[in-house]
Structure 1
Amino acid sequence: MTDLTHILNWRRIDMRITTSGQPDEAQMVDLKSLGVTHIVNLGIHHNGKGALTDELGTVAELGMAYIYIPVDFENPTDADYKAFKEALAAHPNANIHVHCIYNARVSAFFYRYAIDGFGLTVPKAMENMESIWRPGADWADFIRSTEAVGQPNRYAGEDY
């Protein structure tokens, strides 16, 4: 299966689940062409760093289902994670693309998902996440990382 590596921080979790940063309208068409039937967005619609003006409309026009789980980057919650798990469980045979703005939220969600025994192995999920960023701050508790407590969020390849 073709990968869409031109989409920001594109990653393949398995044969039916892919992730990335925010796709633009043309990249949504590419996702549809890849066979994606469901888009899960963990980003915030009003994010000024690339959120689509009408993502729901774009996705609907392409005939894909849209699941919106807006995760506050400064406060990821267990309720957000529960909604994420339920979205994946509700569509066990669908080709799903999960994104946010940078693939930071998403990679942390899939890391926690691996800790809970689903999807990737924990080492693979850690490798995936750390290729994008290293969570700290408010994300330390969310990903259950005592090592990350008190550390800043750090992005791979960028020095903040």
Structure 2
Amino acid sequence: MSEALAAIRQYRRLGEHLHSAGQPTAAQLDQLGEAGIGLVINLALTDSDHAVPDEAQRLQAQGIVYSHQPIDFDAPSRAHLDRLGQTLSAHAQTSTLVHCAYNMRVSAMLFMHRVRHLHIAPAVALPDLLALWTPTGPWRALIDEVLVEQGHSPLPPNG
């Protein structure tokens, strides 16, 4: 794993090509090309904590594809999950960093994506989610809905 990736807030490697994190600093964004990242998906709002205003330009200057898919933390939806899934599927062989402000939106969305599209058992994917936070409210509701649709039990009471 690249030291540049490991230094990003709340970084986690979730597979050969899939990485999640909180908001990289401007200097960390400038190192992503050298770290082998080919796609960055940003789920944070433009005014999220520590947002880098010229993130898209910094990445595009390195030849990295940038996709901004903002999710209001209080209103995650199936449409957000579907859009993220489509982008990840279209770039399945590309080393991808998905980030938000603190890796909370991302960890929840990627948990659902991994269960739904990559057919990873919830028990295998769950530790990566719970290492960062225990979803509540609309996040918990969406996760439970996706789990049940996929033939799994909802999240256990404490996670």
Shorter chain as normaliser: what TM range? 0.7 to 0.9
Contact kept, 8 Å, 1:13 with 1:119, in 2: the verdict is no
Secondary structure in 1 matching 2:137: coil
Contact kept, 8 Å, 2:41 with 2:66, in 1: the verdict is yes
Secondary structure in 2 matching 1:143: helix
Structure 1 residues 93 and 41: CA distance shift in structure 2, 3 A:
same
Mapped pair 1:98 → 2:98:
yes
Secondary structure in 2 matching 1:43: coil
Q: What is the correspondence of 1:131-142 to structure 2 with a 5 Å cutoff?
A: 131-142=131-142
Structure 1 residues 37 and 119: CA distance shift in structure 2, 3 A:
farther
Return structure 1 stretches of 4+ with deviation > 3 angstroms: 145-148
CA distance in 2, matches of 1:20, 1:119: 22
- Cα RMSD between the aligned structures? 1.9
Amino acid at match of 2:21: S
Mapped pair 1:53 → 2:42:
no
* Equivalent in the alignment of 1:112: 112
CA distance in 2, matches of 1:119, 1:56: 31
Q: Which one is further off, 23-32 or 95-104?
A: 23-32
- TM-score scaled to structure 1, two decimals? 0.85
CA distance in 2, matches of 1:11, 1:142: 22
**Contiguous gaps of at least 5 residues in structure 2:** 145-153
Deviation string 1:72-119 (CA, Å, 9 cap, x unpaired) is 100001100000000001112111111010000111011111331516
% identical equivalent positions = 28
- TM-score scaled to structure 2, two decimals? 0.85
